[in-house]
Amino acid sequence: MLERIEHRACFGGWQDVYRHRSRAVDGDMRFAIYLPPQAEHQKVPVLYWLSGLTCTEQNFITKAGAQRYAAEHGLALVVCDTSPRGDNVADDAAYDLGQGAGFYVNATVSPWSQHYRMYDYVVHELPALVEQSFPVTNKRAISGHSMGGHGALTIALKNPGRYSSVSAFSPIVAPSRVPWGEKALTTYLGSDRETWRAYDATELVKLTHEKGANEKIPMLIEQGDADEFLRTQLKPELLQAAAEAAGYPLELRMRTGYDHSYYFVASFIGDHVAYHAAALRT
């Protein structure tokens, strides 16, 4: 049962926020959906957006300015929260773990495993709900920022048939090899690093190559060279090297002077919406 809790006119369409009970995370979840003016007359494809550490659905819909471009290209935008939430949901005092920091995995370690199944929520439950409830098609693309960029890349790499394209801003491309990722993956999945490969974009590209998989999804990465986390947490060169070795289609755009903020996202989100719109038309 969907409960609409926000409804605002925006660039000829509607920016709404809904709350619903999620089976995947065993609790209430919120998501935002922007329906462009074209949705009044026909079904439209969907670009899913995954946000980063500490964010909710509000960060993207209020700071990125993506609705203007979605209206221009006739895309719906769907933005979910970054974790399950509530008094009964496990949490941590640190900003990079627990509520607001779900890392888009299916946790296997207690107490996190009870609710932290964001992978299932994003890949299966949310699209099924959106496609059942709104005038959208089953053509999907996915994007995200920072932790959400990690989520978008890993989800697309694991499910190439579900998405026409993937992009990311400042993504954590190799969580198995940086502090943010090592902390989260150890907490949510345990200490067996082999299990981490399923949620590591760099490792997934390597696995695709090892298995000789032919289905490859185009990837676009936007990265600012003044990002304070570039050398310690993000390391896009690791994914770039893996993609080159595997012959995987990756475009990495380094942007001079840009940092990790939504000022960066807002500066280039129009390019990304156009990129996904082109892929969704094919």
Q: Active-site residue numbers?
A: 146, 227, 260
Q: Measuring CA to CA, how many Å separate 200 from each of 98, 174, 185?
A: 19, 5, 10
Of 19, 29, 5, the C-alpha closest to 85 is: 29
